[in-house]
Amino acid sequence: MTGARTILIVDDYPDALDVWAIYLDAEGFRVLTAGTGQQALDTASADLPDLIVLDLDLPDVSGFEVARELRSRAATRHIPLIAATGYSHVVQQDKALQSGFDAIIVKPCDPDTLVVEIQRLLSAHGAPPPSLIEH
């Protein structure tokens, strides 16, 4: 599947990683996963995904800190970031936006809703949605 857009999903809950990875793969994306903030930073730097879906509540480094670190690095600062959170409080959402996230989804999130948000951000950042990519 050459030309597929790469999505990094970061969540410490293995079932969430599996569900989203299977669904996004079926939608034509290349999917990478990470279970910690440090794994997210390492994977993002090594693979330079087209977009990152990042849980805010991680066991080692918070998603807020990961986002700030990604934004501080020249190689990763352009990557669109979606915050995934179980909290819908305005304060949490404001903090996410201030940390460098481009969008926020509240978990549990329907996979179709996630795909729509991913496609919106990829289009806004100049990447075609996977349905327009030659397989």
Please name which of 41, 26, 37 lies closest in space to residue 130, comparing C-alpha atoms: 26
- pLDDT attached to residue 97: 80
User: Considering the domain boundaries, does residue 64 fall inside one?
Assistant: yes
73, 45 Cβ separation under 8 angstroms: yes
When pLDDT is cut at 50, 70 and 90, the band that residue 3 belongs to is confident
Domain total of the chain: 1
- pLDDT attached to residue 130: 42
User: Considering the domain boundaries, does residue 1 fall inside one?
Assistant: no
In whole angstroms, what is the distance from residue 41 CA to residue 9 CA?
Answer: 12
Q: Using one digit for the tens of pLDDT, what is the confidence trace for 104-134? A: 998 888 888 999 999 999 998 765 444 433 3
- pLDDT attached to residue 87: 73
52, 70 Cβ separation under 8 angstroms: yes
> 97-130: b or e for each residue (b if 16 or more CB lie within 10 Å)?
eebbbbbbbebebeeeebbebbbebbeeeebebb
- pLDDT attached to residue 133: 35
> Which CATH number belongs to the domain containing residue 65 in this structure?
3.40.50.2300
Q: What is the mean pLDDT of the chain?
A: 87
User: Considering the domain boundaries, does residue 85 fall inside one?
Assistant: yes
For residue 96, pLDDT over 90 is answered with: no
Backbone angles phi, psi at 58, to 5 degrees: -110, 155
For residue 31, pLDDT over 90 is answered with: yes
For residue 89, pLDDT over 80 is answered with: no
User: Considering the domain boundaries, does residue 133 fall inside one?
Assistant: no
User: Considering the domain boundaries, does residue 130 fall inside one?
Assistant: no
User: Considering the domain boundaries, does residue 95 fall inside one?
Assistant: yes
For residue 49, pLDDT over 90 is answered with: yes
Write out the residue range of the structural domain in which residue 14 sits. Answer: 6-121
* Assigned token pair, 111: 């996979």
Please name which of 54, 59, 116 lies closest in space to residue 79, comparing C-alpha atoms: 54
